[in-house]
Structure 1
């Protein structure tokens, strides 16, 4: 469909499938891929036909992290990496996080470094049995970035998160599911088909519920109960006045499946 080079972009049954496509380097992120991922997510966000977004990796791994072989002008200057992270990596994580539509990471093989952060930034995660998250930074004397400290601490707690970072540990799919990082673990050969089937079911749900609840969960993550109660009360009005609520209530009484339009 779209003219991307470092990734593929397809839409099928209201599902946008964004696939990182540099399998020869395990989908490591170079400047081109970072730019194209931003563009692909913006395209999916703005497409009224898209209700769910899948992020996957071609070949034997989801994403090996940043492409360390890439030569970038100015890399010898003090503050270069801070500027690069602020300019390219952080906006990408924020774009995924702030997209009102649900995003599912489809993780096969290794999700290492910033690749693991990309997977964790999504709303839902499905992993193959042989997949794993890998905090590879300590092995090269760097620290996780892209929000990794927050993501890992939220699910593992500060002590386990620190252990994973300090010893450059892998977190296998089974453990990811156990701690709530992953929603589902499936057979490797069924990963994409199971992900698409799950996404298809998700796309049939009420778009307003999906987007508003995503907003509330993010906003209340570090707030108290009073904040959550008020946030729900305000946003419930948006849902209550929608055409989808009228359709959902009507379908309920007519004992049929509702046809939601996101309006």
Structure 2
């Protein structure tokens, strides 16, 4: 198992809990943390014992965005930001989207800037009652990145997404729940407990269903109905020929809980 400097990685049974661990700066993303998030998600995805991945933040906030105080070689050069987004930020977001297992963001306090993108990239979300998403980019004359335009447009529609970006607005946990951005809102002092409880329930579901449905849903976000119909037809063949389908069918008729192995 890889050692991490800027996050903690804990595996408990079928759960892998990745916790951003720079609480002194509200878990803002420096280069090391960006690399480590990508590596930790990949590690959890490759671990056969892990069924569900949780992404959380230590301290008073989930993630305050990019670490604007960090100085890197060449940061004064034209195109530096484009290169960093393409080689560090975007792979971090895509590691979550491409993970073969469900990823749950566990959001306390602020998920601001790229931190909001990190939270929204996850398949499911649990927020504390006092948590919020903050589109902080406009306040410093930037535009959102990390896929934030896509995530907000999908959830809010173009007009509301543009308003949020233009006015650097916040979305409270309740507003996120109403918009379908988060799945659950829980008391702040119960956030970790409730998230792990829900993740444990999710880990009991059919692994192939979790993986294949995630794949189709991500395709459905950008492809037309014909593509999705065919994608379902191909992947359903994978599912129906699996050991888990045989076990699930047998358990159904025997009126017992199935034991899935992901094969």
- TM-score, L = length of structure 1: 0.99
Matched, 1:34 2:29: no
Match of 1:257 in 2: 257
Number of aligned positions between the proteins = 263
Answer with 220-229 or 105-114: which moved more: 220-229
1:165 aligned onto 2:177: no
For 2:189, the equivalent position in structure 1 comes to 189
Aligned to 2:218: 218
Give the SS at the match of 1:251: helix
Question: Structure 2 regions of 5+ residues with no counterpart?
Answer: none
Matched, 1:176 2:176: yes
What whole-Å deviation, never above 9, does each CA across 1:86-133 have from its counterpart, x for those lacking one? 110001111111111000000000000000000000000000000000
Distance in 2 between the 1:90 and 1:260 partners? 33
- 1:58 corresponds in structure 2 to 58
2-structure distance, mates of 1:239, 1:93: 27
Shift of 1:226: 2.0
5+ long unaligned stretches in structure 1: none
- Corresponding residue for 1:117? 117
Question: 1:2: Cα distance to partner?
Answer: 4.3
The aligned residue for residue 245 of structure 1 is: 245
2:156 corresponds to which residue?
156
Q: TM-score, normalised by structure 2?
A: 0.99
Question: How big is the shift at 1:230?
Answer: 1.3
Distance 2:111 2:9 in 1: 20
